Amino acid sequence: MSFLWPQLLWLLLLLPLLVPGYLWLLHRRRGSALRLASVALARQALASRPAWRRHLPPLLLWFAFAALLIAVARPTAVLSLPMAERTLILAMDVSASMRAEDVKPNRLVAAQEAAKGFVAELPRSVRVGVIAFAGTAAVVQAPTFSRDDVYAAIDRFQLQRATAIGSGLLLSLATLFPDAGIDVSEITGQRPMPRLLGDAEPAKGYKPVAPGSYDSAAVILLTDGQRTVGPDPLDAAKIAADLGIRVYTVGIGTTQGEVIGFEGWSMRVRLDEETLKNISLLTHGEYFYAGTAQDLKRVYQSLGTRVVVERKETEISALFAAAGAALALMAAGLSLWWFGRVI
């Protein structure tokens, strides 16, 4: 625990001064009792009450003053807190290789079921958007609070040829930052793509920020292959880093590769783990490998704790102030109940 105004902690030195004051007050009250008409009655009244009752309310009040003085110094602590509102983009590969059955029943179905289970566990304050990418990328569900709309979007996936990982990531960023000036006409197939993205530049109108510093959104990128068309994923990751977006990458499938067939043709696909690890490294996210359907479910369960809850330094003055007020009220209440007066 640290303090924003540590110099005010010197006020705690006033607390020991309250002890002599309390002892003087007790001595004064004893003197008043001796001046009563009947000393025997006073002794009998005092003897009928446990001695600790006399000291408990002042002790609670002393701790109340201590808590309030600490609150004045504005204490802070690193806490794990749920995000009040957050947007998550699920960017999922729908290339033909996702029909491979090395992950049962196949990669696509396993990914769909795991993604829907992940979304179901998210707090209702989290908006979820869905991007599907293969040779091009498309927003199949804009960020929404409706879980049913997200489930329906995930169920609508249709397999396509090629794998444009960079396109999926860029469209995810454009969805989160519609005013950032990211040109999505090329990556969504609206016109031919004459060039790759090239050297990544900060998004228009946005100053580069520290990677991973944007706390209100994150991207979860799932793929089972390697880029065959579209922008370089690492260039797209640099833009994500400039925007402060964390990208959590999930690799599904086999690293050695597998031959799959689709619409009369066949090809060998393999998982490009190196690229996915570099994407997560650049954006201060994390890479996960899911070799089986069960692994994929565990990955999404782990992701839920990472992208919804964050540890950050938070001022906790209110907690100490509330504790001080509660102790003061308790001291006053007990004193009134036992002695008919407030302290």
Neighbouring-strand partners of residue 222: 92, 250
Q: In tens digits, what is the pLDDT along the chain, a chain of 343 residues? A: 888 888 888 888 888 888 887 777 766 766 555 555 455 555 555 555 566 777 788 888 889 999 999 999 999 988 766 665 589 999 999 988 888 887 888 889 999 999 999 999 888 888 999 999 998 999 999 999 999 999 999 999 998 888 899 999 999 999 999 888 787 776 665 544 433 343 445 455 568 899 988 888 999 999 987 888 889 999 999 999 999 999 999 998 766 656 665 556 566 667 788 999 999 999 999 999 987 788 888 888 888 777 766 667 788 899 999 999 999 899 888 888 877 777 6
Strands 287-290 and 265-269: unpaired
DSSP label at 222? E
Q: Between helices 293-308 and 107-121, what is the axis angle to 10°?
A: 30
The angle that helices 15-34 and 39-47 make with each other, rounded to 10 degrees, is 130
DSSP 8-state code for residue 202: P
Would you give the distance in Å from CA 305 to the centre of its chain?
7
Rounded CA separation 339/343 (Å)? 8
User: Which pLDDT value is given to residue 171?
Assistant: 95
Crossing angle (nearest 10°) for helices 165-176 and 233-242? 20
pTM above threshold 0.75: no
Residue that the structure tokens 């690799």 belong to: 251
